[in-house]
Structure formats: structure tokens, C-alpha cells
Structure 1
Amino acid sequence: MENIQQFLYYPISELPYVIVALIIAFTVHEFSHAYVAYRLGDPTAKNEGRLTLNPAAHLDLFGTLMIFIAGFGWAKPVPVNHFHFRHRRLSGALVSFAGPLSNLMIAIIFIGLYFTLYRIGLLSNLSESTYSTINQLVNMVVSLNVVLFVFNLLPFPPLDGYRIIEDLAPNDVRVRLIQYEQYGVFLFLILFITPLGDYVFAAIFDRTVPYILNSLVALFQWLFGY
């Protein structure tokens, strides 16, 4: 086990929770891209079988493995044809934002469900091991989805945050973004696989993710009167 653990980002004991959280997060994220694109007039994703909550349609093998090894990964990108949109730029930005937003909504739903189950007393009647399992699963689903929400809104190609900026930018800025996009991808990869990323991403994730998590918990504590 120790030999395997050295290649993993997460402790082996947490892998079952990571797998469940990952399947939920990636599947809903990509489905949301496809659903919003379809509602705005683009049937491309639907025609390619991506308008579904079947994880098999969305999970990328290598991208999934990278989650376990490096702590970040990706699913299969949803195909989008902007020419089907009536308002191409706004629609494109909405489709891009739908993915990260869905991850935030998953976190909110799971926190709300946890507080509801606690309030009505269902959690207090469980055995200690069952309660611990539910608690760890909820924590993993919530934290992973908040991380994906923040991660995907970073302004680096090919992330959703970059696509939003690209769609909403003025024509002259958009042309330059497209021109230098390949270098942006290269810069993003360098930052993620080298210690240089610690100066950029550490400040974002070490502050933003805990702030969002604490804010969501505080919100539900207020709603439930704790």
C-alpha cells in the first residue's frame, strides 16, 4: 500500500469518496455545458450523446487518472458550435459559465442536504461508522466541487474562465487572445507542473476556496438558526 500511496495525491482511505465526488462533479459540469448550449440553440452536444448524466459519456480516462495522481484533471470537452447561437458571444459565455456554476450548485445542494438531515434528526440515529462515512463523503463532494468552481474560472486557456473572457472581449482584444492562446496553454501547464505555480495558485486556492466553503457553511448555519 505504501508503494502505491507515493504515486497518489489523495490518501488511499479517501479514494472511494474522491471517486464518487469526481463522478458527480465532472458529469454534472459537462452536462451543464451541453444543456445550456442546447437550450440556447446549439444541438451539437446533444447530437454527439453529451446531453446526458451518464458519466461514461463525459469522463476522460487520462484526465480522471490525473486527479488521483496530481490533484487536478479534466473531463471530455463538450463540443459547442457558436454559429447556432443567436447571440454568439453572450451565449458562448453563458455556456462556459454553466460548468463552474454547476459545481458551486452541487456544493450548495450537498451542504443544504446535510444540514436538513441533521435538523430532522436522521443523522443522529446513525451508527458512528455510517455517520463518519456520510460526513467524509459530503466533505469531499463539497470541497472538490468548490475547488473545481474556482479552478475552472481561472483565466487560462483552455479553462472556462478564459473562454468567458474570450467571448465577452472586444473584437481587437479577442483577436489577440486567439493569436496567443497556444502560449497561454503552455504557460498554464508550466505553472501547474513547476514550483512557479505555488506563487500563483497557492494564494488563490489557499484563500479563495476556504473563504467560499466557510461562507456557504455560515449561510446555512444562519438559515437553520445555528
Structure 2
Amino acid sequence: MVTASIRSERRISRVFLGIVAVTLVTGWAAWKGFAEEPPFAVFLFVTSAWIVSLCLHEYAHARTALHSGDISVGAKGYLTLNPLKYTHALLSIVLPLLFVILGGIGLPGGAVFIERGRIRERWKHSLISAAGPLTNVLFAIVCTAPFWLDSLDGVSSDFRFALAFLALLQVTAAILNFLPVPGLDGYGVIEPWLSHKVRRQVEPFAPFGLLLVFALLWVPSINGVFFDTIDAILGGLGISEVDSYCGRDLYRFWQQSDPYCAHP
């Protein structure tokens, strides 16, 4: 009975499998260059793949917490990869998608509730927080691999641009989440090593850290420096500014698109 219960808690949800199916189908459509005007395939492929990465990000937090001593994550449904089981649907799915649509920025929000009292060692607390953005790093490596392996010759430009934009989202998600800002995973990494007094002083600001970062990125000078850094990283991985720019352009199909990106 106990074994059956554990299996149920860790069984991959049909919701997640459905999102993966959408990712595969729309990725194939983008690969073949279908539905170019407007490029719905690009929009659906990037959106569904981004949601998959959000699920994996939160799963990494939960799975690491499980092995660190918090066995409650299973009963909460966090190990099923079901985004509907997250503690804050607004922070988990809605806001990250809004960030992508409005600013082309990948920024997962806090979603799983870890019972930190069950975990003793400080390094385990740090590892739990780092597990999420490290998943984005791994996702970015997968997305950029076809570029630095030069394996996209003859592939539809729709798929190439979509993959470049998805890689951009993963890189921005990893970098921003590692910032030591209250409410983000980067702060969670260093928090266990801070004094109790400092943690108490910082705690009230945690709910606003995510919004503060997003607001700062709307400042033109900060935004410019940030995306110059992202472009430099992507360039080192074989993705040109044209690839990521056109990916973002095709993703926003409701706006007037650049003719070069539509028909390179």
C-alpha cells in the first residue's frame, strides 16, 4: 500500500505529458516550416517548451528537497510535474509567460513550498535553491547544442529561430534566478549562510524581489547591458543576434514582423 502510494505521488501527470505532446507536435511543425503566416507553430512551440522548462525547474527543487529530508513534497504533488499542483499558479505560470510575451525574458517564479524545518544541513538548503536554475542551464545547453554542433543545415528557419529564442529564455532564466535578490533562487543559495538577524530583516522584501527585477529590466540602460551580456553568451554558444532576434520577432506574431525574419 505504501509502495503504491509512493508510485502515485511520483507518477508523471497527464497534464505534463499533454504539454510535452504539444511541444513535440508544434516543434515538428516549425521544423517543417508549416503555418508560417502567422507563425502559430513558433508561438506554440516556444510557449509549451517554456512551460515544460518551468515544470522541470520546480521538479528539480522538489526532487532535491525530497532527497534532503522533506518527504512532504510527494504528497503535495510536486513530483508529478503537474503545473496545476504548484503553490502559486500566478507566480509559477502566469507571470513567467507574461514576462516572455511582454519582454522576451525568461524568469521562473517561486512555486513549490519546501518544509525547510525538515532539512538540517545548510548546504542542502543551498542545493535545493540552486537546483532550479541549474535545470535552466541544462535546458539551455540542450537548446544551443544544435548550433555549436553545426547540425541545423537545411532545417527550417522557423525552427532555427524558435530554438534560438527558447535558448535565450533559458539563459536569462538561469542568470536572473541566480541573482542574490530576496525571493529568487540566488538569494536562497546564500540565505542559509546569513545570520538570523539579517534573514529577519530581509524576509519582508522577498515577495517583491521578482517584480523589482522585472521593473529594473524596463530601464533602458539596464536592459541594454543585460541583453548585451545575454547576446555575448549566446554568441559564444553559436547563436547569433539575428537568430534570437528573429525568434522573438516570429514569436510575437500579433505584431508587425520583420520581413527578413519571415523570409530570410
For residues 1-226 of structure 1, the aligned pairs below 5 Å read: 13=39, 15-58=43-86, 60-67=92-99, 68-72=101-105, 74-75=108-109, 77-87=111-121, 89-113=122-146, 118=151, 124=153, 131-169=156-194, 171=195, 174-183=196-205, 185-186=207-208, 189-190=211-212, 192-193=214-215, 197-200=219-222, 202-203=224-225, 205-217=226-238
- Cα RMSD for the two superposed structures: 3.1
CA distance in 2, matches of 1:33, 1:115: 29
- 1:3 counterpart residue number: none
CA distance in 2, matches of 1:197, 1:177: 29
Conserved? CA contact 1:44–1:79, under 8 Å: no
TM-score by length of 1: 0.70
Q: Deviations over 1:74-117 (max 9, x none)?
A: 45611111222241x21111010011110010111222256568
CA distance in 1, matches of 2:206, 2:223: 15
CA distance in 1, matches of 2:185, 2:140: 18
> Kindly, what percent of the aligned residue pairs are identical?
28
Structure 2 segments unaligned to the other structure (5+ residues): 1-37, 240-264
- 1:5 counterpart residue number: none
CA distance in 1, matches of 2:227, 2:94: 26
TM-score by length of 2: 0.62
Q: Deviations over 1:26-78 (max 9, x none)?
A: 11111111111112221222220011233444564532442324545545611
The amino acid that maps onto 1:159 is L
CA distance in 1, matches of 2:81, 2:203: 31
CA distance in 2, matches of 1:47, 1:21: 26
Structure 2 SS opposite 1:92: helix
Q: Structure 1 pair 191/25, CA: closer, same or farther in 2 (3 Å)?
A: closer
CA distance in 2, matches of 1:45, 1:61: 19
